[in-house]
Amino acid sequence: MKVIRLMIVAVGGQGNLLATKVLGEAALLAGIPFRMSEIHGMAQRGGVVESAMIFGDAKSSLISDGEADILAGFEPLETLRALGKCNKKTVVITNSAPIPPFAAAVGWSAYPGPEDLQIQILDMAGSLNSFDATTLAIEAGNVMAVNMVILGALAGTDLLPVSAENIRETIRNKTRKNFIDVNLKAFDLGFKQ
């Protein structure tokens, strides 16, 4: 099987680790070799959280610069910061709704405009699917379901060796019972993107 390298980046609190856990469990459910690693950078204070996932037979759980097949971002500036992992074939899926960092929120620095972000991403990657996952998460019933919306968009690409049904089953089995319906709705809304 072809090795697929997926990088997910988010701001702390956006559910990157749950999304990674769901994808990993779905891969194991499908019998697909899976490796992962995580980096938490001041996540409790809104810092970056990165997850590297390798589907298939690989010797490392790390993704070197330029090696990512897919980059998924739950926040557009974090997607921009991870572009070093991309190459001209990388598929980028990103939430277009920003969470400005403290310096931008208080006016000490400027947050890049959406057109600038798209130009920079497409300069480094092969393709871009940018959409407002935050609005879809709210439509599903909880703004915290951005992670499930992005998982749905990932599943909709057919780039992952894991089926959408395996991911849905894992969501049913591994997320809190009172969030299952919202998470599944968020996943399905993302799948249509």
Number of helices (H), then strands (E), belonging to the chain: the values are: 8, 6
Give the burial class of 3: count Cβ atoms within 10 A of its Cβ; 0-12 exposed, 13-18 middle, 19 or more buried. middle
pTM, whole model, 2 decimals?
0.92
Tokens of 9: 């980046």
CB contact burial 59-96 (16+ within 10 A = b; e otherwise): eeeebeeebbbbbbbbbbbbbbebbebbeeebbbbbbb
Token pair 């089926």: residue: 163
**Structural domain spans, the chain:** 4-191
CA 10 to chain centre: 7
Contact 12, 42 (CB under 8 A): yes
Rounded-to-integer distance, Cα 124 and Cα 128, Å: 10
Pairing of β 48-55 and β 70-73: unpaired
Residue-by-residue pLDDT tens, the chain, 193 positions: 899 999 999 998 888 899 999 999 999 999 999 998 887 766 555 677 899 999 999 888 899 999 999 999 999 999 999 999 999 999 999 999 998 887 888 889 888 888 999 999 999 999 999 999 999 999 999 999 999 999 999 999 989 999 999 999 999 999 999 999 999 999 999 999 9
Closest CA to 20 of 36, 4, 32: 36
What is the fold of 4-191? Pyruvate-ferredoxin Oxidoreductase; domain 3 (3.40.920)
Q: Determine phi and psi for 31, rounding to 5 degrees.
A: 75, 25
